[in-house]
Amino acid sequence: MVHMPPIAALRALAAAARHLSFTKAAEELNVTQSAVSHQIRHIEELWDLKLFERKARRLDLTPAGEKLAGIADDFLTTLNDAVQELKDEHGHTALRVEVIPSLAVKWMVPRLQHFQAANPDIDVWLSTGQNNLQSVQRSDMDAVIMLGDGHYPGFKSWPLMRDYVFPVARPRLLETHGMPKTPEELCKLPLLLRYSGILSPGWEYWFDFVGVPAEIYEPALRDGTRFPDTNMAIQAAFEGQGVALARSAHVWDDLETGRLVRLFDIHCPSDVSVDFVCRPERADRPAVVAFRDWLMDEAAKSQAEWDADEKDKDEAKTKTGA
């Protein structure tokens, strides 16, 4: 008879196989890296099988590790779904959704009370994280709202919105530095930067879209404070520290109240969409369907408002000959 490891060890195996990293697996499971390493070692000793090839800067699955990690992940998903179905029959349903941090704070959370009022038996558990397909694969995650290109092979997805990108600043910053008359002049102001490699429109995308030559804008992007997410960059803009590149969903209310000012009425759609993504076996779960339908309705309302605003700005520019 084969002895079975504890559930925690199987979770560590599935997460480590997903990330090919004990460190990232530990972050997902909210444990230490040494705890994940210990759990993997326990399974290897228990079954007398080598599951990972530990190399200098990376982790590779052995054939045995690849096979068993897939089985472990399927088992955890099946167990999680079975337990949730039983709980659904006897009261509240827990719905676990990972969301882009900036979208969660600025767009979803202010609206979430309306979903809760209409669906009092569904408890939404929001989290923020990597927001990629590895998150979707987690056995305890029902859906992920992420930025992407709309193509997720092996998963079910629905487009929610594609907003607009534009620079924003606090009015007092513009009082000090003056309002730039052209996108080229924007390079003279302090620009709030994001880390490279993040799937979100960056300054390069916006400058290229509006036609500013790279030799003009690149020097302005070499130095300055960098932020890991849009929330921090926008907060820095609130503090008058510089100009942030924002999307409609992040700053719509702040533009309405005048806390921030949009620079240039240039129609620049985001190069990525906000998508609802889940495993195929989760797509028809009643709580997932209810939350997805509500999200799509809310997103459609926002999209219509943003599109109308962009159209008004375009028409105003045409009338003035700008």
pLDDT tens, position by position, 139-186: 678 999 988 888 898 899 999 998 899 999 999 999 999 999 999 999
Q: Where are the alpha helices (DSSP H) in 56-202?
A: 63-88, 101-103, 109-118, 133-137, 171-177, 183-186
Residue 233's CB: how many other CB atoms inside 10 A?
25
Q: Where in the chain is the domain with CATH 3.40.190.10?
A: 94-158+272-309, 165-271
C-beta of residue 277 within 8 angstroms of C-beta of residue 146: yes
Tell me how far apart the alpha carbons of residues 230 and 156 are, in angstroms, rounded to a whole number: 27
Task: Check pLDDT > 60 for residue 197.
Answer: no
Was domain 165-271 assigned CATH 3.40.190.10? yes
Share of the chain above pLDDT 70, in %: 92
Was domain 94-158+272-309 assigned CATH 3.40.190.10? yes
C-beta of residue 203 within 8 angstroms of C-beta of residue 245: yes
C-beta of residue 318 within 8 angstroms of C-beta of residue 176: no
User: E strand or H helix at 47, and its extent?
Assistant: helix 33-47
The H helix count followed by the E strand count for the chain is 14, 12
Q: What local confidence, expressed as pLDDT, does residue 78 receive?
A: 78
- Residues 281-295: tens digit of each pLDDT: 889 988 999 999 999
Q: What local confidence, expressed as pLDDT, does residue 314 receive?
A: 72
Topology of domain 7-85 in CATH is Arc Repressor Mutant, subunit A (1.10.10)
Q: What local confidence, expressed as pLDDT, does residue 70 receive?
A: 87
For the chain, the first-to-last Cα distance in angstroms comes to 79
Q: What local confidence, expressed as pLDDT, does residue 25 receive?
A: 87
Task: Place 89 in a pLDDT band, splitting at 50, 70 and 90.
Answer: low
Q: Is residue 48 packed enough to be buried (19+ CB in 10 Å), middle (13-18) or exposed (0-12)? A: exposed
Q: What local confidence, expressed as pLDDT, does residue 322 receive?
A: 54
